[in-house]
Structures are given as C-alpha cells and as structure tokens.
Chains A and B, each alone.
Chain A
Amino acid sequence: METRFRILFLIASAIMLSGCAATKNLFGIGDDEAPPPTTEPPGQVVDPQVERREIKEPAIDREDFEISAFIGIISIEDFGSDPVYGARFAYHVTEGFFVEASAGTTEAGLTTFEELSGGVRFFDDRRLIYYNLNLGYNILPGEVFVGGNRAYNSNFYVSAGLGSTSFADDDRFTVNFGAGFRFLWTDSLALHVDFRDHMFDIDVVGREKTTHNLEGTIGFSFFF
C-alpha cells in the first residue's frame, strides 16, 4: 500500500516537473538558447574576396609663379638715360590679379651742370638700385597672330606699387606704375615689354622735387 502511494507520488511529481520543463521556454525564464545558424542570409549569394583598389591620383602641376629677367633703358631725371637691368618675381593669384616684386639697378650719368662745370660732382656713388612691390592686373588678355597659321596668347597688363630707390646717398620712398605686354611663346615661357614710371623726391639738384623716372625694358619670363 505504502509502495503504491510512493509510486503514485513519484509519477505525479514526474508529470509536474516535465510540465514545468515544457513551459519554461514559454515564459522566457531559463537560458536563452538561440538555434544555431544553419545557412547564410538569403540575400548574399557570393561573398566578394577582392579588396577595392585604392587609386592615388597624380598631383597636378601648378604653375602660378613667374620669374623674369629684364634689360632696358631708364631715364633718370636730370641724370640722363642709362641701361638698366633687373629681375622680377610674380605670383598669379587669379587669372586677372598678380603680385610682383622687382629689383633693378643702373649707373646714373652726369647732370648738365656737372658736365659743363668740369670736375664738380654732386655725389660720388652713381649707382641706383631700386626695389618695388606691386599689384598687377591682366587687363586685356588676348591672342596675337604671327603669319597665317600661328596664334600666341598674350596679355596687356597694368601694375602699380611702392618701394624704395637707393640713389644719391639716400633711400627714397618710390611710387611706381606702368603697363606691359606679355607674349606667351609657350604656356610656360613668355616675352615681356614693360614701361614703368618710378616717382621719388630728390633735392640733390636745387630744391626738393618729385622726379619721374621712365623705364622701358624687355624681358624673358618662366612660369613654374
């Protein structure tokens, strides 16, 4: 009798426990066991094993700087006309505007008074050296035609700025302005014809006055 009860009790507990085991996942208690992945997601059929090629673009050659050498004639007021030479460096900021730094030198001649009076000299060191910092603008870009088959690019530009002229034992504040023509033989080589007026004050010959010193030069330039 007692054994029968024990068997019944055991059967009852077995049923109850199995019931709990069946419902344990239903209420979300116990371990969360996700089913193991069986196949790849249906969208991806082929997994690409090729890496995307990284392309390094070659750098573009920028040619905004221009260096030039020039030679010509400058007329120094009261001191005659003398050969002048120099160099110029320009940076082209936009297609129109450029900034430039120039330096030039010449040997000044004698004034009429010095020539007529014999040995009198106002000063000994006759060298004139100038530098200037200018802003320029390509006002009339265009083309020139050589013969029937050749066309070259050209620019008519204006330029003005400030600087200093070392002349007659003094450094003189100098304003200059002018215009020039740039003939582009290739896109990197050009021929220039330039006219500038360098204005500075001088009191060596009599009273102080503002002098106009006109300069005409031709030059070659190279873009880099």
Chain B
Amino acid sequence: MSEPSTTTILSTSRSNSSAWCVCLLLTLLAFAPGQAEAADKILRKVAVADPYLEMHTGPGRGYPIFHVVDRGDQVEIVMQRTDWYKVRTARGIEGWVDQAQMELTLNPDGTEVEFRAATIEDFTNAKWEFGILSGDFGGANIVSLYGGYSLNPNVSIEAWGSQILGNFSNGWMASVNVVHETWPEWRFSPFFTLGAGMIHTSPKSTIIAGDDRTDQIGHVGAGLRIYTTRRFVLRAEYKSYVVFTSRDENEEVDEWKLGFAFFF
C-alpha cells in the first residue's frame, strides 16, 4: 500500500541536494501502514460511568465537542496524546476525551480505571528526566542537553553534552555527574552535584594561533529544580569547573545556566 506513494514522491523530487530529505519522507511513509494495522489490534475498553462522555474533535481544550457517549456504553481507546485519549464508540465514531473524564470510566470488570495526569509526586519520584539549558560558560555561550536517571528520590545520575560558543574559542564538553536533592518533595527543590568529563577546545584561528586541546574536567555545583506544571521543570544551576590542562596551572571556569526539563 505504501508503494504507490513511494513512486509519487520519487517522480516529483527533482533536487539532488534533498535526496536524504526524500529518504526521510519515505521512512515516514513506510511507518504509515503501521497505522492501518492499529485498527486490528485489541484495544483497551472502558465503560462510561459518568452521565456522559464528551468527545472532542481534537486533542485539546479548544476543539469543539461533537458527540457524547451515554452512561453504560463502552468505548475503545485507540491512542493517547499528552493528556488526551482518542476513543472509538461501538458505532465507530472516533473522538478525543480528556484525562479528567477518562478517570471517571470503569474497566470491563467494574473496577475504576487509573488514568492519572503527572503531578508533583511524579516530580519527586520520576525515573527519567531530559532537559535543555543555556547560559554562560566563562564568558562564552553554552548550549547543553542532558538526560538523567533517578536511583531514588534523592540521588540521580546525569549525562551532559554541551557546545561552547565563545568569541575566542569554540568547543564541546561531555560529562557525567551525580546529583543529590536534599528535599525532593519540595516544589523548589535545591540540589548539589559533582561530576567529571572531557572538554574539547578549538581556538578561533583568525584571532589566536593555537592548537585544539582535549582536557579532563571535574566540577562541583548547586542549583534549583522548580516544578511548574504537568511534566515540566525549570532548572537553574551554577557549576564550578576545573580543567586539568597539560600546562603548569589548572584552569577554573564558572558556569551559570538556566533552562527547562521534563520527566517521564
């Protein structure tokens, strides 16, 4: 079924430079039959326990309600996007229902279903966290991406990748660190961190004549994780780096960063 669309794309593509772009599109289309197969899958069923279940045309508050399902009727859950569930009625009508209404449905055996939105408790107990931060690294701009795994509510380990963009040199930095949160249940949760890694610096040739360097780094830091809403966390932190150079003196760099993260 995906073959005809494949030929269409190829025949309309004339640009050589966008060859990989087309490849990506083909990959996307290759996924498309998977969507059709989804209809044959066994889907989870729930029964409406509230007086009625409101079906929206799209997964959001603003989309209008176009259909209601009466109490006692069963619906199948086709998929979930953020806090919205796409359901299908016995007559084949499909629409989106929000979390709050889905919580009021019943399982086929009569027990209450558990569709829970992320809360501050998940902020404390979530296992995985990903974030993007940016700020100042010793006068240069820094853009960082990180992923973290919680060993318990207090202790987590993180892996960071950063790009440093300065006036005199650019570079990359990779590090791993341990984070300790003293009061993980607080909405404003302070943390302390300790880590090590590598930094690669390449001076800008037009200004300073110098070779690329790769050095080991160690760092200590402190910061604040702030729970905002649902899965969102704001994060601000300060880290003090020591760069173990091959010269006589080690370099010390201060870093200030601000960004956001989300947890699973």
Contact = CB atoms under 8 A, between A and B. Distances in A.
A151 B18 contact: no
B7 interface: no
Given A173-B165, A222-B28, A95 B231 contact: no
B83 A95 contact: yes
Interface residues on A, range: 35 or more
The 3 closest A-B pairs by CB, nearest first: A173-B165, A69-B24, A173-B141
Given A61-B38, A143-B57, 13 more contacts: A60-B79, A63-B81, A69-B21, A70-B21, A83-B18, A85-B17, A94-B82, A94-B230, A95-B82, A133-B145, A135-B260, A141-B63, A173-B165
B264 to A, nearest CB: 10
A62 B81 contact: yes
A83 B260 CA distance: 32
Nearest to A208: B167
A187 B86 contact: yes
B15 A83 contact: yes
B250 interface: no
Nearest to A174: B165
A199 interface: no
A58 B42 contact: yes
A63 B262 CA distance: 16
Nearest to A171: B170
Contacts of B151: none
Contacts of B72: none
A164 B163 contact: yes
A112 B262 CA distance: 46
A13 to B, nearest CB: 72
B55 to A, nearest CB: 13
A58 B62 contact: no
Interface residues of B, number: 53
Interface of A: 53, 55, 57-64, 67-71, 83, 85-87, 91-97, 99, 107, 133, 135, 138, 141-143, 151, 153, 161-164, 169-173, 184, 186-189, 220-224
Interface in B46-76: 57-64
A93 B58 contact: no
Question: In terms of DSSP, what is the predominant structure of the interface of chain B?
Answer: mixed
B62 A142 contact: yes
Most buried by B among A57, A99, A164, A188: A57
B193 interface: no
A61 B79 contact: yes
B38 A222 contact: no
B18 A71 contact: yes
Contacts of A151: 57
Interface in B147-165: 163, 165
Most buried by B among A59, A173, A189: A173
A60 B44 contact: yes
B178 interface: no
Most buried by A among B44, B82, B107: B82
A61 B80 contact: yes
B41 interface: yes
Given A93-B232, A94-B230, A171-B163, A60 B32 contact: no
Nearest to B262: A93
Contacts of B81: 62-64, 92, 95, 187, 223
Contacts of B42: 58
A64 B59 CA distance: 11
Contacts of B64: 143
Contact of A58 (B41, B59, B61): B41
Most buried by A among B20, B32, B81, B230: B81
B90 interface: no
B85 interface: yes
Nearest to B113: A57
Given A55-B107, A55-B109, A94 B231 contact: yes
29 contacts: A57-B44, A57-B107, A58-B41, A60-B80, A60-B85, A62-B79, A71-B15, A71-B18, A85-B17, A85-B18, A93-B262, A95-B61, A95-B82, A96-B60, A97-B232, A107-B17, A138-B60, A141-B60, A143-B57, A143-B58, A151-B57, A163-B143, A170-B170, A170-B204, A184-B58, A187-B86, A221-B28, A222-B28, A222-B31
